Amino acid sequence: MSVAALVLAAGRGSRFGEAPKLLAELDGRPLVRHVADAALASRASPVLAVTGHRADAIGAALDDLPVRLLHNPAYSDGLSTSLRAGFAALAAEAEAVVVLLADMPRVTPALIDGLIEAWEGAGRPVAAVPVADGRRGNPVLLSATLAPAIARLTGDHGAGPLLRGLEGVLEVPVAGEGVLLDIDTPDALRALG
């Protein structure tokens, strides 16, 4: 069994304004492409991206990559719907899933691999989360054993609330801001560029 990667790329990105956030460019590539490239360069396989808002444009930005696409027609009901759909699609073929947010362009293949290695080294606990500056960040690695709990998630949040109340979550200390830095506004993107 492998550890898969799930890129959540379905949201509206409304705080970014009218322009499509995930297609905004950083260093000549769309934000979503940075995250997909990091997943593909890591040990994680397969890589699945869940689309929703602007699905055709997001798909076109990833068209030449070996990324499977899954459209979530319920994306406007919140992030949990994309997590549920993607996790359900991968949990049967992978022992665990690394969940990546498509607006976090500073996540690296080394970070993803480090999470996988820490999870394996700790005996494959229920989840592994990166911690920087005392704060939990993203991406998170979720064991396929969490499939029933993930399937019950609702609202506009990911697995954070579930993991806060769960025993056996491995916290993996990491350096750098990549696990805490997401792009929500054009100003944040300009500051990063």
Altogether, the residues listed in the chain come to a count of 193
pLDDT at 19: 74
Number of Cβ atoms within 10 Å of the Cβ of 134: 6
100 touches 140 (CB < 8 A)? no
pLDDT tens string 65-108: 999 999 999 999 999 999 999 999 998 899 999 999 999 999 99
CATH class of segment(s) 2-192: alpha beta
Long-range contacts of 27-30 (CB under 8 A, 24+ apart): 27/193, 30/61
pLDDT tens string 117-176: 999 999 999 999 999 999 999 999 999 999 999 999 999 989 998 999 899 999 999 998
- Rounded Cα–Cα distance for residues 57 and 44 (Å): 24
pLDDT tens string 52-61: 999 999 999 9
- b/e for 79-117, b at 16 or more Cβ within 10 A? bbbbbbbbbebbbeebebbbbbbbbbbbbbeebbbbbbe
- Rounded Cα–Cα distance for residues 80 and 42 (Å): 25
Helix (H, G, I), strand (E, B) or coil at 99: strand
* Strand-pair category, 2-9 with 94-101: parallel
Task: Say yes or no to pLDDT of 1 above 80.
Answer: no
- Rounded Cα–Cα distance for residues 12 and 27 (Å): 22
105 touches 31 (CB < 8 A)? yes
Per the DSSP assignment, residues forming a β-bridge with 68 are: 48
Helix boundaries (H) for 67-121: 79-91, 109-121
- How far is residue 181 CA from its own chain's centroid? 13
